[in-house]
Every structure is written in C-alpha cells, then in structure tokens.
Amino acid sequence: MAYGAHRSPQLPPRPDLDPARDCEQCLGWGTVVTRDGHHELCPACQPEPRGTTESEDAAS
C-alpha cells in the first residue's frame, strides 16, 4: 500500500532559485528536508528573511 505525503497547514517555503542553482547542499532546489520531515530553506544558499536577525531569534 502506498502512502502519500502528510498534509500540512503551512505552505512550503519559497526559495530564490538563482543562488540555489549551484548549491551542493540542496542540489539546486533551495530547500532541504529536516529529520522531522519538514521543508526549510537551505541554510547554505538562501538568505535569512528580512527583519530577522540572530539577536532577535536569541531574545525569543
């Protein structure tokens, strides 16, 4: 019996494919799949979203 992907209330992230084109970590997709099965932007080639800094992340 084949199983489909689990439905998620969140949309998958939208990567910028220009910097992802030559990335060896995500192989040009711009996203990676975590061990939990979640899609995230590739940390190697995708810039952090504007307005998010490390100091803001550490404060929360």
For 7-59, write each residue's pLDDT tens digit.
667 777 789 999 999 999 999 999 999 898 888 999 999 987 665 555 445 55
pTM above 0.75, yes or no: no
CB-CB contact of 48 with 19 (8 Å): no
Percent helix, strand and coil across the chain, each to the nearest 5: 15, 10, 75
Torsion sign across C-alpha atoms 43, 38, 16, 60: negative
**Residues near 21 by beta carbon (within 8 Å), at least 6 away in sequence:** 28
CB-CB contact of 13 with 2 (8 Å): no
Give residue 27's pLDDT: 94
Is 2 or 14 the better-scoring residue by pLDDT? 14
